[in-house]
Homo-oligomer: A and B are copies of this chain.
């Protein structure tokens, strides 16, 4: 018996549902690995096809282009994070503990979740750090947004915003603070590892420091 967590995705992101076939699952699995290894700029469908053992045309039958594949992968992770937050905070009654949990989830490199066979969440977390913002920092962002490509991000932001409001119902900027926490959980990690002088964690290079920084930022801001 195998438990499976099914995350449902926006169908206009793909031509054929990658969850439905072995080749599809391989496309997801190998693209996560390859984007992580080479970076999104150098990532091509040809290299992906080679690493799977299929042809370029085979990949194109599933995804129109590499941008949509990136958005697929990134928004999959946003949904997964949203699910994790719901799951890991559902028994907590104290909103401050909830928010601390949220920060920890966002800022910690996760272990591979066995409930999602072909997706390695620990690599996905790295991709979100390095490539995440490339999903929306494009000229087509408004069109993509109309197609609801970023709904998972908005949902995640909303979940976090709700918890912020539980801590302090009068706080005026719950969504902005939520997106700040999410983005900074990733960006401070990138800076810590690659441009350490932009952070105060250059010595330890420890994720726990990022968590402490974010907790200090958030709880002072909402005055807890």
Stoichiometry, copies per complex: 2
Whether A223 contacts B220 in the complex (CB less than 8 A), given A150-B195, A180-B184, comes out as yes
Q: Are B177 and A217 in contact, CB atoms less than 8 angstroms apart?
A: yes
Q: Are B195 and A136 in contact, CB atoms less than 8 angstroms apart?
A: yes
Q: Which of A15-23, A36-44, A52-60, A117-125 lies at the interface with chain B?
A: A36-44
A110 contacts the other chain (CB 8 A): no
Q: Are B137 and A195 in contact, CB atoms less than 8 angstroms apart?
A: no
Question: Closest CB of chain B to A37's CB: distance in Å?
Answer: 9
Question: Closest CB of chain B to A139's CB: distance in Å?
Answer: 4
Q: Are B220 and A216 in contact, CB atoms less than 8 angstroms apart?
A: no
Point out the residues of chain B lying under 8 angstroms from A195, CB to CB.
136, 141, 145, 150, 153-154
Residues in A107-144 with C-beta less than 8 Å from chain B: 130-131, 133-134, 136-139, 141-142
Whether A172 contacts B216 in the complex (CB less than 8 A), given A145-B194, A179-B191, A180-B180, comes out as yes
| A189 CA to B200 CA, complexed, in Å | 25
A197 contacts the other chain (CB 8 A): yes
Q: Can you name 15 A-B pairs with beta carbons within 8 Å?
A: A39-B138, A39-B139, A41-B139, A136-B190, A136-B195, A145-B195, A154-B195, A154-B198, A173-B199, A174-B200, A175-B198, A176-B199, A176-B213, A178-B198, A217-B217
**Known contacts A136-B194, A184-B184, A217-B221; 17 further A-B pairs (Cβ under 8 A):** A41-B138, A133-B187, A134-B137, A136-B190, A145-B195, A150-B195, A153-B195, A158-B197, A172-B216, A173-B200, A173-B217, A176-B188, A179-B188, A180-B184, A180-B188, A183-B184, A216-B221
